Amino acid sequence: MASTASRPGRVAKLPPRERILDAAEELFQSEGILRVGVQAIAERAETTKMAIYRHFETKDALVAEWLRILAADYQAAFDRVEAAHPDRPREQILGLARFIAEGLPTLSHRGCPFINSLAELPERSHPARQVIEQHKALQLRRLVAMCTGAGLPDPEQAAAEITFVLEGAQVSTQNGSVDRAGERLMRIVEAIVDRHRAETSRVAAAG
Protein backbone atom coordinates (compact mmCIF):
# COMPACT_ATOMS: atom_id res chain seq x y z
CA MET A 1 0.00 0.00 0.00
CA ALA A 2 0.97 3.62 -0.45
CA SER A 3 2.19 5.72 2.42
CA THR A 4 -0.52 6.95 4.75
CA ALA A 5 1.08 10.31 5.37
CA SER A 6 0.18 12.13 2.17
CA ARG A 7 -3.01 10.26 1.36
CA PRO A 8 -5.53 10.88 4.13
CA GLY A 9 -8.55 9.82 2.07
CA ARG A 10 -9.49 9.59 -1.57
CA VAL A 11 -8.59 13.25 -1.99
CA ALA A 12 -6.59 15.64 0.10
CA LYS A 13 -8.79 16.50 3.07
CA LEU A 14 -8.79 19.86 4.73
CA PRO A 15 -8.29 19.94 8.48
CA PRO A 16 -11.47 19.16 10.45
CA ARG A 17 -12.21 22.72 11.46
CA GLU A 18 -12.30 23.90 7.83
CA ARG A 19 -14.42 20.94 6.80
CA ILE A 20 -16.86 21.70 9.61
CA LEU A 21 -17.15 25.34 8.59
CA ASP A 22 -17.63 24.38 4.94
CA ALA A 23 -20.32 21.86 5.83
CA ALA A 24 -22.07 24.36 8.09
CA GLU A 25 -21.94 26.98 5.35
CA GLU A 26 -23.65 24.70 2.84
CA LEU A 27 -26.28 23.35 5.20
CA PHE A 28 -27.15 26.63 6.93
CA GLN A 29 -27.49 28.38 3.60
CA SER A 30 -29.68 25.76 1.95
CA GLU A 31 -31.79 24.59 4.89
CA GLY A 32 -31.58 27.26 7.56
CA ILE A 33 -29.90 27.28 10.94
CA LEU A 34 -32.53 25.80 13.19
CA ARG A 35 -33.43 22.91 10.92
CA VAL A 36 -29.85 21.70 10.67
CA GLY A 37 -28.61 19.56 13.54
CA VAL A 38 -25.03 19.28 14.71
CA GLN A 39 -25.08 15.61 13.74
CA ALA A 40 -25.95 16.49 10.13
CA ILE A 41 -23.08 18.98 9.98
CA ALA A 42 -20.69 16.36 11.31
CA GLU A 43 -21.76 13.83 8.68
CA ARG A 44 -21.37 16.24 5.79
CA ALA A 45 -17.98 17.29 7.13
CA GLU A 46 -17.00 13.61 7.29
CA THR A 47 -16.30 13.82 10.98
CA THR A 48 -18.19 13.47 14.25
CA LYS A 49 -20.15 15.63 16.64
CA MET A 50 -17.37 15.41 19.17
CA ALA A 51 -14.90 16.92 16.73
CA ILE A 52 -17.25 19.86 16.29
CA TYR A 53 -17.44 20.48 20.03
CA ARG A 54 -13.69 20.31 20.22
CA HIS A 55 -13.46 23.34 17.93
CA PHE A 56 -16.59 25.28 18.89
CA GLU A 57 -18.03 25.79 22.34
CA THR A 58 -21.65 25.50 21.24
CA LYS A 59 -23.71 25.35 18.08
CA ASP A 60 -24.45 29.05 18.53
CA ALA A 61 -20.71 29.78 18.51
CA LEU A 62 -20.39 27.84 15.25
CA VAL A 63 -23.22 29.87 13.75
CA ALA A 64 -21.56 33.10 14.83
CA GLU A 65 -18.23 32.03 13.37
CA TRP A 66 -19.88 31.10 10.08
CA LEU A 67 -21.44 34.55 9.84
CA ARG A 68 -18.17 36.20 10.81
CA ILE A 69 -16.41 34.51 7.90
CA LEU A 70 -19.27 35.35 5.57
CA ALA A 71 -19.15 38.99 6.62
CA ALA A 72 -15.39 39.06 6.08
CA ASP A 73 -15.80 37.58 2.58
CA TYR A 74 -18.41 40.18 1.87
CA GLN A 75 -16.25 43.04 3.03
CA ALA A 76 -13.40 41.65 0.92
CA ALA A 77 -15.63 41.78 -2.14
CA PHE A 78 -16.46 45.32 -1.12
CA ASP A 79 -12.73 46.06 -1.03
CA ARG A 80 -12.19 44.63 -4.51
CA VAL A 81 -15.00 46.73 -5.94
CA GLU A 82 -13.51 49.85 -4.38
CA ALA A 83 -10.05 48.99 -5.68
CA ALA A 84 -11.39 48.37 -9.16
CA HIS A 85 -12.59 51.98 -9.42
CA PRO A 86 -10.13 54.10 -7.47
CA ASP A 87 -11.25 57.67 -6.82
CA ARG A 88 -14.49 57.15 -8.73
CA PRO A 89 -17.12 56.78 -6.02
CA ARG A 90 -20.03 56.66 -8.45
CA GLU A 91 -18.50 53.65 -10.21
CA GLN A 92 -17.81 52.08 -6.84
CA ILE A 93 -21.45 52.36 -5.85
CA LEU A 94 -22.63 50.93 -9.15
CA GLY A 95 -20.01 48.19 -8.90
CA LEU A 96 -21.36 47.22 -5.51
CA ALA A 97 -24.89 47.13 -6.86
CA ARG A 98 -23.69 45.01 -9.76
CA PHE A 99 -22.02 42.64 -7.34
CA ILE A 100 -25.33 42.16 -5.55
CA ALA A 101 -27.32 41.97 -8.76
CA GLU A 102 -25.08 39.28 -10.18
CA GLY A 103 -25.42 37.28 -6.98
CA LEU A 104 -29.22 37.25 -7.13
CA PRO A 105 -29.62 34.26 -9.47
CA THR A 106 -27.24 32.26 -7.29
CA LEU A 107 -29.05 32.70 -4.01
CA SER A 108 -32.26 32.30 -5.98
CA HIS A 109 -35.10 31.34 -3.67
CA ARG A 110 -32.89 30.93 -0.62
CA GLY A 111 -32.14 34.62 0.10
CA CYS A 112 -29.48 36.54 1.94
CA PRO A 113 -27.91 34.61 4.85
CA PHE A 114 -27.81 37.68 7.07
CA ILE A 115 -31.47 38.50 6.59
CA ASN A 116 -32.44 34.87 7.06
CA SER A 117 -30.33 34.44 10.16
CA LEU A 118 -31.88 37.54 11.66
CA ALA A 119 -35.28 35.94 11.19
CA GLU A 120 -34.19 32.66 12.69
CA LEU A 121 -32.48 34.17 15.74
CA PRO A 122 -34.81 36.67 17.40
CA GLU A 123 -33.01 36.74 20.76
CA ARG A 124 -31.08 39.96 20.94
CA SER A 125 -28.39 38.35 23.07
CA HIS A 126 -27.48 35.71 20.50
CA PRO A 127 -23.82 36.07 19.50
CA ALA A 128 -24.72 35.85 15.81
CA ARG A 129 -26.94 38.90 16.03
CA GLN A 130 -24.06 41.12 17.04
CA VAL A 131 -22.06 39.85 14.08
CA ILE A 132 -24.92 40.66 11.73
CA GLU A 133 -25.63 44.08 13.18
CA GLN A 134 -21.97 45.04 13.12
CA HIS A 135 -21.68 43.88 9.53
CA LYS A 136 -24.74 45.85 8.44
CA ALA A 137 -23.57 48.91 10.30
CA LEU A 138 -20.15 48.71 8.67
CA GLN A 139 -21.67 48.21 5.23
CA LEU A 140 -23.80 51.29 5.72
CA ARG A 141 -20.82 53.36 6.88
CA ARG A 142 -18.85 52.39 3.81
CA LEU A 143 -21.78 53.23 1.60
CA VAL A 144 -22.17 56.61 3.28
CA ALA A 145 -18.45 57.22 2.70
CA MET A 146 -18.83 56.42 -0.99
CA CYS A 147 -21.82 58.73 -1.28
CA THR A 148 -19.90 61.45 0.49
CA GLY A 149 -16.97 60.90 -1.84
CA ALA A 150 -19.32 61.15 -4.81
CA GLY A 151 -20.27 64.61 -3.59
CA LEU A 152 -23.89 63.78 -2.87
CA PRO A 153 -25.40 66.49 -0.64
CA ASP A 154 -27.25 64.06 1.64
CA PRO A 155 -25.06 60.98 1.79
CA GLU A 156 -26.96 59.40 4.69
CA GLN A 157 -30.22 59.53 2.79
CA ALA A 158 -28.63 58.27 -0.41
CA ALA A 159 -26.91 55.41 1.41
CA ALA A 160 -30.15 54.49 3.16
CA GLU A 161 -32.00 54.42 -0.16
CA ILE A 162 -29.37 52.21 -1.73
CA THR A 163 -29.38 49.92 1.29
CA PHE A 164 -33.14 49.57 1.05
CA VAL A 165 -33.13 48.56 -2.60
CA LEU A 166 -30.19 46.18 -2.20
CA GLU A 167 -31.91 44.31 0.60
CA GLY A 168 -35.33 44.52 -1.00
CA ALA A 169 -34.01 43.07 -4.24
CA GLN A 170 -32.73 40.07 -2.32
CA VAL A 171 -35.95 39.30 -0.46
CA SER A 172 -38.04 39.87 -3.59
CA THR A 173 -35.85 37.41 -5.43
CA GLN A 174 -36.31 34.97 -2.58
CA ASN A 175 -40.10 35.04 -2.78
CA GLY A 176 -40.03 35.10 -6.54
CA SER A 177 -42.44 38.00 -6.94
CA VAL A 178 -40.30 40.26 -9.11
CA ASP A 179 -38.75 39.12 -12.37
CA ARG A 180 -35.52 40.50 -13.81
CA ALA A 181 -34.66 41.74 -10.33
CA GLY A 182 -31.01 42.22 -11.24
CA GLU A 183 -31.66 44.60 -14.12
CA ARG A 184 -34.28 46.48 -12.16
CA LEU A 185 -31.89 46.81 -9.25
CA MET A 186 -29.18 48.32 -11.46
CA ARG A 187 -31.60 50.80 -12.99
CA ILE A 188 -32.90 52.08 -9.69
CA VAL A 189 -29.47 52.42 -8.11
CA GLU A 190 -28.31 54.48 -11.08
CA ALA A 191 -31.43 56.59 -10.75
CA ILE A 192 -30.84 57.16 -7.05
CA VAL A 193 -27.26 58.28 -7.60
CA ASP A 194 -28.18 60.52 -10.51
CA ARG A 195 -31.04 62.13 -8.62
CA HIS A 196 -28.80 62.93 -5.68
CA ARG A 197 -26.20 64.34 -8.07
CA ALA A 198 -28.90 66.53 -9.59
CA GLU A 199 -29.68 67.71 -6.08
CA THR A 200 -26.02 68.68 -5.84
CA SER A 201 -26.15 71.04 -8.80
CA ARG A 202 -29.46 72.41 -7.61
CA VAL A 203 -27.97 73.16 -4.21
CA ALA A 204 -24.87 74.63 -5.84
CA ALA A 205 -26.95 76.81 -8.15
CA ALA A 206 -29.03 78.02 -5.21
CA GLY A 207 -25.99 78.67 -3.01
- Residue 53 CB, nearest distance to its own copies (Å)? 22
Interface with its own copies (CB under 8 A): 30-32, 34-35, 109-111, 114-120, 122, 124, 132-133, 136-137, 139-140, 157, 160-161, 163-169, 171-172, 174-178, 181, 184-185, 187-188, 191-192, 195
Instruction: Answer yes or no whether residue 58 interacts with DNA by CB under 7 A.
Output: yes
Residue partners of 146: CB distance under 8 A and separation at least 6: 82, 89, 92, 93, 96, 159
Instruction: Answer yes or no whether residue 31 interacts with DNA by CB under 7 A.
Output: no
> DSSP per residue over 22-76, as a string?
HHHHHHHHHH-STTS-HHHHHHHTTS-HHHHHHH-SSHHHHHHHHHHHHHHHHHH
CA distance 72 to 2: 40
Closest by alpha carbon to 31, among 104, 148, 109, 130?
Answer: 109
- Residue 93 CB, nearest distance to its own copies (Å)? 15
- Residue 48 CB, nearest distance to its own copies (Å)? 25
Binding site for DNA (CB under 7 A): 4-5, 15-17, 36-40, 46-51, 53-55, 58-60
